[in-house]
Structure 1
Amino acid sequence: MPSRLHDLTRRTDDVVIVGGGLAGLFCALKLAPRPVTVISAAPLGQGASTAWAQGGIAAAVAEGDSAEAHATDTIAVGAGLVDEAVALGLAREAGARIHDLLHYGVPFDRDLEGKLAVAREAAHSARRIVHVRGDMAGKAIMSALIEAVRRTPSIRVIEGYAAEALLTEDGAVAGLQLRKAGDAFANPVNIASRAVVLATGGIGHLYAVTTNPAEASGLGLAIAARAGAVIADPEFVQFHPTAIMVGRDPAPLATEALRGEGATLINDRGERFMLARHPLAELAPRDIVARGVFAEIAAGHGAFLDARDALGTHFAEKFPTVYASCMAAGIDPARQPIPVAPAAHYHMGGISVDIHGRTSLKGLWAGGEVSSTGAHGANRLASNSLLEAVVYAARIAEDISGSSIAAPARSPLASMSRNSAMPALSEANLRAMMTSHVGVIRDGDRLAEAVRSFAAIERDTGNVDLRNMATTALLVASSAWARRESRGAHYRSDCPTEKPALAHRTMTTLATAREIAASLNERAPARTAQPMIA
């Protein structure tokens, strides 16, 4: 492995993609036969949220549905912050990207006539979710793409190495600093490239309760921010309302498709508590359902997903992944309600990108959950995330293919200082504070405390891994503190209503987040710098 890495430092024609999930692999395939190097901290198929996705891909492929209707639903859920042109473009490209995935071997479910079978999920006005065996879309998509990547000679895969910093020259990205994953004392390795694509996933592991793998710790967002990239909408974190609470980290997910098939949410008295909270009850937008579940648990009544009447003995056949998770914990979902709670699930915010996936830094593109395209606004519509990943991965590949990428300078690239082993307690404390202070329900005082804490870690720690986690946590918490309203997935108990004047996306930088922290330390919030409004 080391020899291959050192060889790569002499190759300047490779596009370097960081991340082995859906966005990264799809982009690599779309770039073929251009030379591409994919860097993945975990073996392909592991550590990517895509592989855990149970819902599927939203696409208006059924008769009577339309891209315009899909975009309308996306805009409605996004609470006033969705870029309407982006949403419509995403919906219109869905069919072509589904065709690509079929070409790569993804076995999407079909009906008796051989047409793609579609299901309905929360806040969709039609059945438009393309699945694989009910709840196995993510695993099936990843398996097919990994096989396609392995047989594509232009794609070089390096597993077991993590990116810990972007390297820049004259304001442009010049490469990456890598380290061997899991080895805190390994020497860093630099890779030169004028075309870097970040596809590192989300931030769920910054929270103590999450459905995301440990690799989803905000790394890509942090290294881009530390290099000066503009970050968009970091305060908007979606909490999945039905993580299965069986003492596992990450928590297994009870897919939203269960509610689409008629499963209901009840408390320990057997009452359907969502009926009084929204006309769509269990099929309301995720932020509303998550707060409903959170409130019921906080009131001491517990929350359970009840699929006994809706699925009964067909549960194992229709939702094998959820069934296996429940049975492993001693719960038979065909006969018992499933204990659930909200868990950090998806980040609507991320590195700000344009319609081509370009960031504010020359030579850097971003796709998938690490990016923020404007498609999701303040609250993502169910099953739009995998769609966004493939649409923007294809756009990034097209943009890079049409670009003239100059070779990096031959001068050595400077490395960042080496880190020591991450203190487990510090990571645990950061995750606990994100859950308690920057979670489903927020308020100004707790957000201010979180901002000060994360800024101190980001400033003082000598550990690169912990610094990157704290960088992303600081960006999320500072923007949540600055947005003094409730909108979509961002809910503040001290500012519980939407404010029309704030119906704008957040555009911020790490420098702005640090200014917010500094002014909070001076106890002068009135003079605090605000994130830029796009």
Structure 2
Amino acid sequence: MPDLQQPDTQQYDVIIIGSGAAGLTAALVLAERAKVLVLSKGQLDSGSTAWAQGGIAAVLDSGDTFEDHIRDTMVAGAGLNRRETVEFVIEQAPRAIKRLIDLGVPFNTEQGALHLTREGGHSHRRIVHVDDATGWAVQTALLKAAGDNPNITMRSNMVAIDLIRDRNAVDPEGGQSIWGVYALDTGIGHVEALTAKATILATGGAGRTYLFSTAPSGATGDGIAMAWRAGCRISNMEFMQFHPTCLYNLDVKNFLITEAVRGEGGILKLPPDAGAEAGKRFMPDFDERMELAPRDIVARAIDHEIKRLGLDYVHLDISHKPPEFVREHFPTIYERLLGLGIDMTKEPIPVVPAQHYTCGGVRVDLKGQTDLPGLYAIGECSESGLHGANRLASNSLLECFVFGDSSAHDILTRFDTLRAPPPIRPWDESRVTAPDEEVVIKQNWTEIRRFMWNYVGIVRTDKRMERAANRIRLLLEEVDEYYGNFRVTKDLIELRNLLKTADLIVRSARRRKESRGLHYNADYPQIDPVARDTVLAP
């Protein structure tokens, strides 16, 4: 890990909120001309990037084509993708991989060429990877490069509260521009007004809105909620991706079994508790692509079998492959499972679906620009049109690199014309007191995640979503009252954002009167002939 540079009194040109793949990619490009401040809510490597096991999708094999990758992405996205975005990202993919290689990411090779694996929904082998810990390798390389760059300052344990708007200026002019962020330094408990000519949200997704999620604890929808409060449109929040295969273990939470296990021959079977059907391979009953079907289909199939038979989990079995093959391709998973008493070379892995990725978010264009001047959103907090109604496996890191690059270049193109921020009013704590009942925050957090899982999960109904909306309405009043009377803490900020994100998910889901991609409503099982985005405006 690089040493953190200490904050100083210099004026930053760009503030980036988030230190994952998207944020650091943008920072490295911007640092050619700009002074950049990168803020991380926790430690610099605590975001979703470091957790990514699978890899990065790119057309690198002679038998593959951009058109094939585009088609696979559009099929997985159930036709809701914006084609210009899909083309833009996929055509930039080989260049993004080359930049990562130049940064020292040690991608796996075979006979002198990059080793490519295949995952669900892909028609070719096109996933570059570093064993089964690609995200960690990418995060490490990006952090080293950023830490070595004198134009990049990185600050950890800085919790963004709200974006600084024109109305926060000492002399407001009535505009809509964004000038930075109010952020809590959790080390000293002080809120700072951090200003810049441009601000980039790279805050990740909202997985912690759900009870079971593969996302890190900080994935509370912060960027999405802040952008909404500032006046940005939010789109397609009903499309929350559930990964089909999260390890089922009561002592170990949120351990993902990568898509690549199925891509390399893993089979889904019913466990011994299924009685007469024990050992049955069930995916052929749901899709001709079987285990290589897109994630939404596989997750619903597992959910169906678990509910139909009253199971706790199903089995993912790759023990029919040679032991050395399994250990070579999945060393991290193998060692972790072995420590839990599961030898995946000899026995199946118990798995259940869990929330995995936020496909909706802040609506942006090909440059990552939001509706507000001076504000960009990139990576999982954004809705660029790449993923549509369901993200194709290993397109997420790719989106981070491409939009990190495009947003930074857009800022640099207009760099000489960007206005300096006006004088901004400091954070006002004159009318609040220290929180008196932290248990309120913990209780509300648990309640939100539980009713979102039960009512707005893999399979939804109008009645379930109505119940969720009623609970959210009451909680919004309670949390707003609490927020207005007490000093902010990390937990309170996250609860406020988590609840607003849950509200946006439910509002979006109730508007969609069809079942498309990741959104399955049992009351509307059909798919409409015309694909339409769900766009919410403040």
TM-score, normalised via structure 1 length: 0.90
The structural deviation recorded for 1:248 is: 5.0
> Where does residue 454 of structure 2 map in the other structure?
436
User: Which whole-Å deviations, capped at 9, do the CAs of 1:477-527 have from their partners, x for residues lacking one?
Assistant: 1111111111000111111111224x1111113x4xxxxxxxxxxxxxxxx
Change (3 A) 1:224 1:124: same
Q: What residue number does 1:297 align with? A: 306
Partner of 1:281: 290
Amino acid at match of 2:532: H
Aligned residue in 1 for 2:498 = 469
Contact 2:5 2:153 in 1 (8 A): no
Q: Which moved more, 1:453-462 or 1:283-292?
A: 453-462
Secondary structure, counterpart of 1:487 in structure 2:
coil
Q: How does 1:156-175 map to 2 (within 5 A)?
A: 156-169=153-166, 170-175=175-180
| Aligned pairs (5 A) from 1:39-118 | 39-46=39-46, 48-112=47-111, 114-118=112-116
Secondary structure at the aligned position of 1:369 is classed as: helix
- Shift of residue 12 of structure 1? 3.6
SS at match of 1:214: coil
Contact 1:455 1:470 in 2 (8 A): no
Displacement of 1:3 after TM fit?
Answer: 12
Q: How many angstroms apart in 2 are the aligned matches of 1:402 and 1:442?
A: 45
Is there any run of 5+ residues in structure 1 with no aligned partner, and where? 512-534
Distance 1:180 1:438 in 2: 34
The answer for the alignment partner of 2:413 in structure 1 is 402
Partner of 1:526: none
For residues 21 and 415 of structure 1, what CA distance do their matches in structure 2 show?
30
Distance 1:411 1:442 in 2: 45
- The 1:59/1:75 distance shift into structure 2, 3 A limit, reads same
State the secondary structure of the residue aligned to 1:325.
helix
Alpha-carbon distance between aligned partners in 1 of 2:119 and 2:65, rounded to the nearest angstrom = 16
What's the CA shift for 1:313? Answer: 4.6
Query: 1:484-495 maps to which residues of 2 (within 5 A)?
Result: 484-495=513-524
Structure 1 position 259 matched with structure 2 position 262: yes
Which residue is equivalent to 1:121?
A: 119
CA distance in 1, matches of 2:252, 2:348: 21
Is 1:383 the equivalent of 2:394?
yes
SS of 1:305's equivalent in the other structure is strand
> How far does the alpha carbon of each residue in 1:107-132 deviate from its partner, in whole angstroms, 9 at most, with x for none?
111121x2211111111111100111
The more displaced of 303-312 and 139-148 is: 303-312
Q: Give the Cα–Cα distance (whole angstroms) in 2 for the partners of residues 381 and 224 of structure 1.
A: 25
1:13-70, CA deviations, whole angstroms, 9 ceiling, x for partnerless residues? 4200000111011110111231100000122212x11111111000001112111211
CA distance in 2, matches of 1:220, 1:67: 31
Q: Structure 1 CA distance, aligned partners of 2:66 and 2:325?
A: 32
Q: CA RMSD in A?
A: 1.9
1:279-313, CA deviations, whole angstroms, 9 ceiling, x for partnerless residues?
00000010000001111111224411011103535
Paired position in structure 2 for 1:508: 536
Q: Which residue of 2 aligns with 1:232?
A: 235
1:317 aligns with one of 328, 346, 351 = 328
Give yes or no for contact 1:252–1:325 (8 Å, CA) kept in 2: no
Opposite residue 115 of structure 2, the aligned amino acid is A
Aligned partners of 1:190 and 1:415 also within 8 Å: no
> Do the aligned partners of 1:455 and 1:471 also contact (CA within 8 Å) in 2?
no
| 1:477–1:115 Cα change, 3 Å | same
- 1:529 is matched with none
Q: Say whether 1:498 aligns with 2:527.
A: yes
User: Contact 2:165–2:230 at 8 Å: present in 1 too?
Assistant: yes
214, 218, 237: which one aligns with 1:215 = 218
TM-score (structure 2 length as normaliser): 0.90
C-alpha distance after superposition, 1:179-201 (max 9, x if no partner): 13488xx2321111231100010
* One-letter amino acid of the counterpart of residue 508, structure 2: S
Q: 1:132: which partner in 2?
A: 130
Equivalent residue for 1:457?
475
Aligned residues: 501
Q: Distance in 2 between matches of 1:414 and 1:194?
A: 19
> Which amino acid in 2 is paired with 1:448?
E
Unmatched runs of 5 consecutive residues or more in structure 2? 167-174, 272-277, 484-492
Tell me which of 136, 144, 148 is aligned to 1:147. Answer: 144
Answer yes or no: is the 8 Å Cα contact 2:161–2:184 preserved in 1.
Answer: yes
Amino acid at match of 1:408: P
